[in-house]
Every structure is written in structure tokens, then in C-alpha cells.
Amino acid sequence: MPPLPGTGAHPEAEFPEYAGTYRLEACLGSGGMGVVHLARSASGLQLAVKVVHRPYAADPEFRARFRQEVAAARRVSGAFTAPVVDADPDAGRPWMATLYVPGPTLAEQVKRNGPLAPAELRRLTAGLAEALRDIHRAGVIHRDLKPSNVLLSDAGPKVIDFGISRPYDSDLRTETGKLIGSPPYMAPEQFQRPREVGPAADVFALGAVLVHAATGRGPSTRTARTSWRTRWCTTRRI
């Protein structure tokens, strides 16, 4: 993912100069929970550093979940995930640094160039299946596999963003009535029994991601959450 233009100072210092000892050089992207920066280690290694938005840094529950994200990401290793290099969930602005993976997300690639060619699709399928194998072997459920969480690198696809992932043995549980995930890529049990979600939910999401990669369409993100809940949970399957 290339750096975004115009990443100067933010009125509320949303773009700090450092995270720990790492100088933040450019903004790679921004989400609801934090900003991802391009950074460089003292040895010259390029990193992607996620820094939590200031309001969330003051929320003890969010800090606990960020610690869980760091723990989950550290447990996972393999050729098709981005390894954690360093993190400080107890900093004034919690942050986590992973190895920088140059390349577009699957969502960006499909939007720009349309569906993947058959050979590219086979490579993507094999890489994502291996990534999920490694994630599940580490005792982690990703829970948010979607095209924007898949980076396409020269070495193959990389699964990123363990922000709502959960280790099997975690003491933290999803709040009753709270949806966790991206509705078009969520398995029925994520709507019906979010506290009981297991590896099968990631496999369901993998299928939806591959449909998007193969057709260029996939589930519409504009559909209301309630509509997706009704469609996935009430449609009879053969």
C-alpha cells in the first residue's frame, strides 16, 4: 500500500512524529480505530506502524482489546502474514509495528483492474488458505477477513489487521448484541452467536473474498447490516 499524499500535521496531532523509537515518515491509511504510518527502524527496515486514535487511548476497555490484538498478531507466523516487529499497548498512544508489505490491497487491485486472472486467482486462493492454516494453528480466529485486509505483494498475499481477532483462550468476550466484523463477509454464526465464532467463520469469509476476486463484484458493502443478517441467517441452503 503506497503512502497517501498530504500527510502533514493534523490539528490534534493525529499524526505524531514518533511511535516509541520509530520515526513516522508517511501515512499509509486511516481507519476507525487508528492510523497506519510508514516508518523505518534504526537498521533501515521499513515498518507499518498502527497508532491508535487519541480518544480510544483513554478507554481502558479499548486498551485491553488492543493488547489482545497485539497478542494475537504476535502468535501468528507464516509466509502469508505480516510479522509483528515491536509494540507498546501501554504507551500514551498505543501502537504496533509490523513489517511493511509494499503492494495494493485486494480491494484496490480489483477496483483498479477488475477481476483477477485465473493464475492470479489460484495463487491468491493457495496463499490465503495457507495464511488461515497458520492463523488457526496459532489458536487465533481473524474474524474480519475481507479484500481490504489482504495485501498483494510480490511474494504472495498477506493477511493483515488483527484488530478484532481473538485467541481461542482469550478472557475477553464480545458484548451481547454487538456485531463484530464486516457484514458482507461475516458467517451466519457471527450474527447469531458471536461469542461462539470459530475457524469456520474465517473459511466462510475466505469464500466471499474469493468471489470478489473472481467476479469483481462480491457482496455490496452498502447493504444494511440487518439485510445481511436476514439473508445469511434465514436463506435455506442446499
Residues serving a catalytic function are 144
118 contacts: CB under 8 Å, gap ≥ 6: none
What distance in Å separates the CA atoms of residue 107 and residue 156, rounded to the nearest whole number? 15
Rounded to 10 degrees, the C-alpha dihedral 49/54/55/56 comes to 30
What distance in Å separates the CA atoms of residue 125 and residue 210, rounded to the nearest whole number? 7
Q: What is Dmax (Cα atoms) for the chain?
A: 56
Cβ atoms of 84 and 160 closer than 8 Å: no
What distance in Å separates the CA atoms of residue 73 and residue 98, rounded to the nearest whole number? 9
Residue 37: which of 87, 83, 100 has the closest Cα?
100
